Structure 1
Amino acid sequence: MKKFVICAAMLLAAGCAKAPEDIAATPVAVDPYMQMQCPQLASLRTQKTAELAVLERKQLEAARNDATGMATIHLPVGSMVGKDREPEYAQAKGEVQAINTAYQTKSCAAS
């Protein structure tokens, strides 16, 4: 019985939402962004950075809900109700990184 409880606890913990800083960016190709002009990149950069910030807040909330749930009722509440945004956050993080790389490579800040 003790082994079952330990295994169940490990499975539940594995299902917890990660904190945003613990989520790796999904690799996104820079090539499409290199085709854009600096004003387009700047606009897209602003838009995607705002989207990333929204997803970061949602992911942090899910991680906190999971931590609270695990501490109180031993269930990852945030993940169980579909609030984990890890895939979307990882994709947005990768897009922002790719845009930033293109922005810097093209010396857009100097324009």
Structure 2
Amino acid sequence: MKKYLFSTLVVALSACATSPDKVKAQYMPDTAYASLTCPQLAEAELKQGDEVSGLYNSQRRAHKTDTWTVLAVGVPLSGMLDEDKQEQLARAKGKLDAIHRVQHARVCPGISAPA
């Protein structure tokens, strides 16, 4: 019986929303940003950074909610409530990476060396 409960808990936890720190950026081509000037890239970076931040926070809340609801009732709720933002966060991180690549290629002022 204990083995069954443990297996059920493991399966339920694996269905939970992914922690936002573990969401990898989806590759996005640089072409969407290649025609922008450095000031335009800086503006795009700010907007995209705000989007990443908002999605990060949403994903963090979904992850926490799933962790607690699995422990309380055995079911992750974020998928049912459409709160899991993993795919949107991966795309947003990818767009931000593309903006940074173009900024580095153009040697825009105020940009640090790539990691």
TM-score (ref. length: structure 1):
0.87
Which structure 2 residues correspond to residues 1-111 of structure 1 after superposition, within 5 A?
8-110=8-110
Q: Which runs of 4+ in 1 moved over 3 A?
A: 1-11
Mapped to 2, the partners of 1:70 and 1:34 lie a distance apart of 45
Which consecutive residues of structure 1, in runs of 5 or more, have no partner in the other structure?
A: none
How far does residue 78 in structure 1 lie from its aligned partner after superposition? 2.2
How far does residue 79 in structure 1 lie from its aligned partner after superposition? 2.5
Call closer, same or farther: CA 1:71–1:4 in 2, change over 3 Å.
closer
Deviates more, 1:53-62 or 1:4-13: 4-13
- Per-residue CA distance 1:2-33 (angstroms, 9 max, x = gap): 77656544442222101111011111011332
Which consecutive residues of structure 2, in runs of 5 or more, have no partner in the other structure?
A: none
Percent same amino acid at aligned positions?
A: 25
Q: Which amino acid aligns with 1:61?
A: R
Q: How many residues align?
A: 111
Note the aligned Cα RMSD (angstroms).
Answer: 2.0
- Per-residue CA distance 1:71-110 (angstroms, 9 max, x = gap): 1111112222110000100000000011011112211125
Q: Which has the higher helix share?
A: 1
TM-score (ref. length: structure 2):
0.84
Q: Which amino acid aligns with 2:21?
A: E
